């Protein structure tokens, strides 16, 4: 049986530091930007994530790319 992956949604997630928990570990806050084109290049997404993080008051923690896909029989 052949199975194919069908991209449903792609999002860029920017995580920034947002203080500390009671145990002293760093809390993070995320901002999600949806409807990212499937053809967008990774370097461009990384650069955009850094640029957007530069507009935020908190320190950048990470940039993530989140894909939601459906698996279907081909």
Residue range 13-27, pLDDT digits in tens? 999 999 999 999 999
Listing from the earlier edge strand, what are the strands of the sheet with 26-33? 26-33, 3-20, 60-73
Strands 26-33, 60-73: pairing is: unpaired
- CA–CA separation, 7 vs 1, rounded Å? 20
User: What are the pLDDT digits (tens) for 48-74?
Assistant: 999 999 999 999 999 999 999 999 998
- Of the candidates 57, 14, 9, 63, the one whose C-alpha atom is nearest the C-alpha of residue 37 is 9
Average pLDDT estimate for 36-53: 96
Q: What domain range is 56 assigned to?
A: 3-73
pLDDT for residue 15: 97
**pTM of this structure:** 0.84
- Of the candidates 70, 52, 65, 48, the one whose C-alpha atom is nearest the C-alpha of residue 10 is 65
Per the structure, the count of domains in the chain is: 1
In which band, very low, low, confident or very high, does the pLDDT at 36 lie, cut at 50, 70 and 90? Answer: very high
């Amino acid at each position: 049986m052949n199975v194919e992956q069908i991209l449903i949604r792609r999002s860029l997630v920017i995580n920034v530091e947002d203080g500390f928990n009671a145990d002293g570990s760093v809390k993070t806050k995320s901002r999600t930007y949806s409807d990212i084109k499937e053809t967008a290049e990774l370097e461009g997404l990384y650069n955009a994530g850094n640029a957007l993080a530069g507009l935020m008051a908190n320190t950048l923690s990470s940039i993530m790319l989140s894909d939601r896909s459906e698996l279907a029989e081909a």
